[in-house]
């Protein structure tokens, strides 16, 4: 699980604010503070019949204590033991965008600040795969493109057709048109067959992919 203590251990000293334990401890104390603020507005009750706020209040004190110890240990640990916190921002941001895209547009709706249209799995699926795929520097467009459609076709087949999970497949506008002319199920099967064919075509047509997909 935690397997990279070697390469993170830097030769030069790690400033206090960048130490894993200092930041970790501080985060715990912060959360404890937040919980405490939420808990004191609630009824504490008595020991014989404690109220809604008692457990949260008690736990926030315990968490603050434990987090405080982590924090203090972070401050007093020897320089050579201290580890620097390192976050990879780019992949996190890209994956967050991919997931947010799915969440916001699969059915659309009112999210407080924004309201979004329904685009359905048909549009959102390939986009999610494509955006998520960009999170690694090893990304290759000519691989990702057929994958986007192929995976969406697979998900439509497995989740929507075989497991009959209810999830919007079409953008709202198309959904209304389609359902009046012929069944949504038929149209959905058409989509995944078309996507599957598209993925296969792209896979063959784009140069340099064929054959070494599983390298």
Residue (130 or 192) nearer to another protein, CB = 130
Residue 109 found at the interface with another protein (CB under 8 A): yes
Task: Determine, following the binding rule CB under 8 A, whether residue 200 of this chain makes contact with another protein.
Answer: no
Whichever of 6 and 11 has its CB closer to another protein, that residue is 6
DSSP state for residue 135 in the 8-state scheme: T
Pick the binder of another protein from 139, 193, 194, 204 (CB under 8 A). 139
Residue 196 in the binding site for another protein (CB under 8 A): no
Return the exposure string of 160-199: e unless at least 16 CB atoms fall within 10 Å of the residue's CB, then b. Answer: beeeeeeebbbbeebbeebeeeeeeeebbeebbeebbebb
Handedness of CA 111, 114, 119, 125 (dihedral sign): negative
Nearer to another protein (CB atom), residue 77 or residue 189: 77
Of residues 160, 159, 158, 153, the one with CA closest to residue 202: 153
Q: Which is nearer to another protein, 99 or 186 (CB)?
A: 99
Binding-site string for another protein from residue 34 to residue 73, where x marks contact by CB under 8 A and - marks none: -x--xx--x---xxxxx-xx-xx--xx-xx--xx-xx--x
Long-range CB contacts (< 8 A, 24+ apart) of 138-142?
A: 142/206, 142/207, 142/208, 142/209
Q: Does 120 bind another protein (CB under 8 A)?
A: no
C-alpha dist (Å) from residue 214 to 143, 148, 174, 201, 211:
11, 17, 37, 18, 8
Is residue 157 within the footprint of another protein (CB under 8 A)?
no
For another protein, the binding residue among 44, 104, 184, 189 (CB under 8 A) is: 104
* Single residue of 82, 123, 129, 202 touching another protein by CB under 8 A: 129
106 forms part of the interface with another protein (CB under 8 A): yes
């Amino acid at each position: 699980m935690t397997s990279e203590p070697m390469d993170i251990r830097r030769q030069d000293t790690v400033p206090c604010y960048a130490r894993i334990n200092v930041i970790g401890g501080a985060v715990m104390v912060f959360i404890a503070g937040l919980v405490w603020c939420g808990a004191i507005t609630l009824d504490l009750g008595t020991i014989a019949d404690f109220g809604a706020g008692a457990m949260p209040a008690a736990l926030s004190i315990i968490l603050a204590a434990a987090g405080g110890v982590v924090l203090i240990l972070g401050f007093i640990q020897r320089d050579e033991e201290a580890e620097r916190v390192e976050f990879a921002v780019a992949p996190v941001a890209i994956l967050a965008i991919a997931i947010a895209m799915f969440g916001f547009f699969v059915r659309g709706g009112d999210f407080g600040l924004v309201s979004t249209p329904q685009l359905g799995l048909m549009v959102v699926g390939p986009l999610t795969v494509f955006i998520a795929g960009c999170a690694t520097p090893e990304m290759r467009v000519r691989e990702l493109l057929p994958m986007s459609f192929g995976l969406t076709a697979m998900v439509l087949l497995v989740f929507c057709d075989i497991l009959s999970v209810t999830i919007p497949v079409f953008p709202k506008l198309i959904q209304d048109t389609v359902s009046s002319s012929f069944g949504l199920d038929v149209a959905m099967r058409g989509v995944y067959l078309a996507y599957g064919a598209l993925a296969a075509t792209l896979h063959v047509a784009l140069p340099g992919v064929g054959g070494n997909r599983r390298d």
